[in-house]
């Protein structure tokens, strides 16, 4: 399926994401609402780096629709490089005719050096210097398309997938929810008297029904992720415009950001999202479908914003977990000292 866009011609990666999202919305399903039980967020097999923005959203949808459990993706060139370093019995191959998935990445070109900049080059510049060179035109960037394949599409012996979360898996519970609010200096009101979940910008407070009002625990935590995503828009955080329902386009875009961000955060926490409960009414689906058809760029911008939002929230999650780790380590050391005195 392909929707026309008179304002801007979409590249192959953008068109694929656009088509997938529109197809699901036309069926009455928001792809970010689908059950998620894979291990971690989509990432590059060679570097281990997570994809971001529209690439992350597209590959997440690919994983959801194709039921891939392994989050690793690889390009054909990376596969060849991997095989050069591997014994014959440990090599991998992509079967002929296998469909890959287009992603978009950015390269930076230096007019002074007359070549594309490498990661090593960037270490020689400060952020301010890079910005200055971009503004002067000394450095410019351009987009390129690469095709990636999920590891489950490949044949051969693969290195075991190691998720850093396997070592210190995030414990998603009420303590985490409470401490995350504290870290963000965000007011939190969880009460059985609350009939709906919402973030109040004027109060800078997230209001949530108590967990028992949800059919499953997953519903409570996914809803909390969504409302915390809205809260990042406060001027003291990511400083994003938080529009009211009276501005349909802006409101729909903010809801889209929060929905995608809640999926991204669940991936980072390795938190399974099962078929919990439908949280988006048909009116939301229709508003997103209408908006994305008219302005596809809204989808790409929302995915980019959602990456930033989930990274922001995850920073505080890890900070909280580091606090717990240090506290446990300190307690263990005290126990060992006490034991040595008692011996």
Which stretch of DSSP H or E encloses residue 156? strand 155-156
Distance CA 74, CA 49 (A): 11
Distance CA 42, CA 60 (A): 6
Asked whether residue 12 is domain-assigned, the answer is no
Four-point Cα dihedral 125, 129, 130, 135, nearest 10: -160
Show the beta-strand stretches assigned E in 34-138.
43-44, 72-75, 92-93, 101-110, 115-116
Taking alpha carbons only, the member of 153, 111, 114 closest to residue 134 is: 111
Q: Are residues 134 and 225 in the same domain?
A: no
Q: Are residues 320 and 175 in the same domain?
A: yes
In the numeric block, the tokens 């993706």 are attached to 73
3-state SS class at 252: helix
Q: Are residues 115 and 70 in the same domain?
A: yes
Of 124, 149, 165, the position where a domain reaches its end is 165
Tokens of 204: 């800078």
Q: What is the pLDDT along the chain (343 residues), one digit of tens a residue?
A: 444 444 579 999 999 999 999 999 999 989 988 877 767 899 999 889 999 999 999 999 999 999 999 999 999 999 999 999 988 888 999 999 999 999 999 889 999 889 998 878 888 888 888 889 899 999 998 899 999 999 999 999 877 775 544 445 568 899 999 999 999 999 999 999 999 999 999 999 999 999 999 888 888 999 999 999 999 999 999 999 886 667 888 999 999 999 999 999 999 988 887 655 555 667 889 999 999 999 999 999 999 999 999 999 999 999 998 888 777 766 665 665 555 665 5
Which stretch of DSSP H or E encloses residue 198? strand 198-200
Tokens of 157: 């012996």
Q: Range of 186's domain?
A: 168-325
Asked whether residue 119 is domain-assigned, the answer is yes
Asked whether residue 68 is domain-assigned, the answer is yes
Backbone angles phi, psi at 103, to 5 degrees: -125, 160
3-state SS class at 72: strand
Q: Are residues 291 and 184 in the same domain?
A: yes
Max CA separation in the chain (angstroms): 80
* Number of C-beta neighbours around residue 242 at 10 A: 18
- 108 near 116, Cβ under 8 Å? yes
pTM metric for this prediction: 0.85
Distance CA 169, CA 301 (A): 30
Q: Are residues 189 and 321 in the same domain?
A: yes
Distance CA 310, CA 42 (A): 14
Tokens of 256: 């889209």
* Number of C-beta neighbours around residue 233 at 10 A: 20
Asked whether residue 330 is domain-assigned, the answer is no
Q: What angle do CA 143, 147, 149 make, to 5 degrees?
A: 145
Q: Is 279 exposed, middle or buried (0-12, 13-18, 19+ CB in 10 A)?
A: middle
The number of folded domains in the chain is 2
Beta bridge partners of 200: 205
């Amino acid at each position: 399926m392909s929707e026309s866009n008179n304002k801007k011609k979409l590249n192959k990666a953008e068109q694929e994401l656009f088509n997938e999202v529109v197809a699901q919305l036309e069926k009455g399903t928001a792809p970010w609402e689908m059950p998620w039980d894979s291990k971690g967020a989509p990432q590059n097999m060679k570097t281990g780096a997570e994809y971001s923005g529209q690439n992350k959203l597209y590959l997440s949808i690919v994983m959801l629709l194709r039921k891939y459990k392994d989050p690793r993706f690889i390009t054909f060139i990376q596969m060849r490089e991997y095989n050069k370093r591997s014994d014959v019995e440990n090599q991998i191959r992509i079967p002929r005719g296998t469909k890959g998935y287009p992603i978009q990445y950015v390269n930076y070109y230096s007019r002074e050096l007359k070549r594309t900049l490498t990661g090593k080059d960037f270490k020689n510049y400060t952020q301010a210097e890079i910005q200055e060179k971009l503004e002067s035109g000394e450095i410019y960037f351009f987009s390129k398309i690469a095709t990636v394949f999920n590891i489950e599409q490949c044949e051969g012996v693969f290195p075991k997938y190691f998720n850093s979360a396997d070592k210190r898996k995030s414990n998603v519970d009420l303590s985490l929810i409470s401490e995350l609010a504290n870290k963000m200096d965000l007011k939190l009101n969880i009460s059985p008297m609350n009939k709906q979940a919402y973030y109040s910008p004027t109060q800078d407070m997230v209001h949530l029904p108590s967990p028992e009002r949800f059919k499953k625990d997953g519903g409570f935590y996914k809803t909390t992720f969504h409302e915390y995503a809205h809260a990042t828009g406060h001027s003291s955080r990511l400083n994003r415009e938080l529009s009211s329902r009276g501005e349909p386009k802006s409101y729909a875009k903010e809801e889209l950001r929060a929905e995608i961000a809640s999926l991204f955060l669940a991936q980072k926490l390795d938190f399974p999202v099962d078929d919990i409960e439908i949280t988006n009414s048909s009116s939301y689906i229709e508003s997103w479908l209408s908006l994305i058809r008219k302005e596809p760029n809204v989808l790409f911008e929302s995915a980019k914003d959602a990456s930033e939002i989930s990274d922001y929230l995850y920073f505080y999650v890890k900070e909280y977990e580091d606090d717990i780790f240090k506290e446990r380590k300190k307690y263990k050391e005290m126990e060992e000292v006490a034991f040595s005195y008692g011996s």
